Amino acid sequence: MKAIIHAGVQGIGGLQYTEQRDKLPGKGEVKVRLKTAGLNHRDLFLMSARTNQEAPFILGSDGAGIIEAVGDEVTHLTPGAEVIINPCIGWEKTDQVPVVPAILGGPTDGTFAESVIVPQQNVAPKPAYLTWEEAGVLSLSALTAYRALFTRGNLQQGEHVLIPGIGGGVATFATLMAAAIGAEVSVTSRSEVKRQAALQLPIARALDSHESWEEHLGDNSVDLILDSVGPATFDQYFDVIKPNGKIVMFGASSGDDITIPARAIFFPQLHIIGTSMGSREEFIAMLQFMEQYSLHPIVDTVYPLKETALAFGRMERSEQLGNIVIAIN
């Protein structure tokens, strides 16, 4: 089968379009012939951290396709079924949080290939209202956004959520989900182009990351902040968040080290909460939520499998608004 592997060099330069051995599913597994897959920032982080001593592997966490074969002891799944892949492996119950979630596509082979083998519990019926391009980019970002907003952030109708760094998949899914329940959404970006594009989404305002958010928001402070940026924007959060507000952190694109002003936490009694990915229970709930509100992923661009390196170049330059699709079959 054709696949994109990462080998030899750090970063995008290590991507290779190659022929890989086709495999059969084992006990409790299904083989999915992929139609589409999706890029995530996680893929960039994995590539940047690898060395040339590490074994090549197939990248990719998101994907959708048709079941081609099933292994022994697989129940309720048959060849020909259209499915979407849950990339979070082994996390079944929401309250049984793993130390680090196991995610498809590193170190296990992922979805940038003509087919992938996953545990049977990691596929769900593809929502019929979604195109293959939409279904292929849904899972990782939408699951992360759903857990951050609702399980960890407990967002309610009428509350105000701030999403710094609009552009990536999690941020755009979170915007759509929050607006769907009647929350007020504000976003930020360094890019004027992205801020203007974001105004096509159901948001109240798009702020410049470099300007004073407090000045622009005035008395309209926020109940919840979804933080994927880290130190570059963290200081501004305490200027705009309400007492008893929540900062839910799921990423650190500008680095790991932040300074937390203690009095800015305990006097207004703020909550700083971590989150990452989500359980199979939340994955099913997320799909039901998407269908209930007829939400469609924001598709930025579509690239063929052999041009995956070009797709990652677009992501690395932060040019996208929404999700980048890899078309496979």
What letter represents residue 260's amino acid? Answer: I
Longest dimension (CA), the chain: 61
Per-residue pLDDT 10s for the chain (329 aa) are: 999 999 978 899 999 999 999 999 999 999 999 999 999 999 999 999 887 788 899 999 999 999 999 999 999 999 999 999 999 999 999 999 999 889 999 888 999 999 999 999 999 999 999 999 999 999 999 999 999 999 999 999 999 999 999 988 999 999 999 999 999 999 999 999 999 999 999 999 999 999 999 999 999 999 999 999 989 899 999 999 999 999 999 988 888 899 899 999 999 999 999 999 999 999 999 999 999 999 999 999 999 999 999 999 999 999 999 999 999 97
Residue-level pLDDT at 8: 76
pTM of the model: 0.96
Q: Burial letters for 274-291: b for 16+ Cβ neighbours within 10 Å, e otherwise?
A: ebbbbbbebbebbbebbe
Tell me how far apart the alpha carbons of residues 144 and 281 are, in angstroms, rounded to a whole number: 13
Element (H, E) at 313: helix 308-316
Element (H, E) at 43: helix 41-49
Closest alpha carbon to 303 in 120, 60, 95? 60
Helices 308-316 & 41-49, crossing angle to 10 degrees? 100
Tell me how far apart the alpha carbons of residues 182 and 171 are, in angstroms, rounded to a whole number: 17
Helix, strand, coil distribution of the chain in percent, nearest 5: 30, 30, 40
84: β partners: 64, 124
CA distances to 111, 122, 195, 197 from 192, rounded to whole Å, are 33, 39, 5, 9
If you search the block for the tokens 């929540």, which residue do you land on?
246
31: β partners: 69, 117
